[in-house]
Amino acid sequence: NAGVTQTPKFRVLKTGQSMTLLCAQDMNHEYMYWYRQDPGMGLRLIHYSVGEGTTAKGEVPDGYNVSRLKKQNFLLGLESAAPSQTSVYFCASSYSLWRVEAFFGQGTRLTVV
């Protein structure tokens, strides 16, 4: 059982380049989230989705876009990467209703130079 899988695990971008991070979950979860983790800042929510075809902004959404075309996938896009977006990105998913804890992917370390 794979759980939550993020692709890629590492990436180096040049300023201004674009890229898409893919998150896939095989647990039939309704809810999916993208967080970024920076030293001394904990995890901050970028965007989230409460179901297929829906997305919502989190705490730090600027510079990112997301899409949830399929229930199992949640994509995070950077249209024009900036050095301030150097971070570790985590995807997570959770059930609705009775199961409230989130399951996390292994993270993507992104460096923008």
Partner 1 sequence: AQTVTQSQPEMSVQEAETVTLSCTYDTSESDYYLFWYKQPPSRQMILVIRQEAYKQQNATENRFSVNFQKAAKSFSLKISDSQLGDAAMYFCAYRREGSGNTPLVFGKGTRLSVIA
Minimum CB–partner distance for residue 89 and partner 1 (Å): 11
Minimum CB–partner distance for residue 53 and partner 1 (Å): 15
User: ∠ CA 7-60-83 to the nearest 5 degrees?
Assistant: 65
**Would you say 11 or 17 has its CB closer to partner 1?**
11
> Whose CA is closest to 9, among 92, 94, 77, 91?
91
Binding stretches for partner 1 (CB under 8 A): 30-31, 33, 35, 40-45, 48, 50, 58, 88, 90, 92, 94-97, 100-102, 104, 106-107
Q: Compute the CA torsion angle 21, 42, 113, 6 (nearest 10 deg).
A: -20
**Would you say 9 or 70 has its CB closer to partner 1?**
9
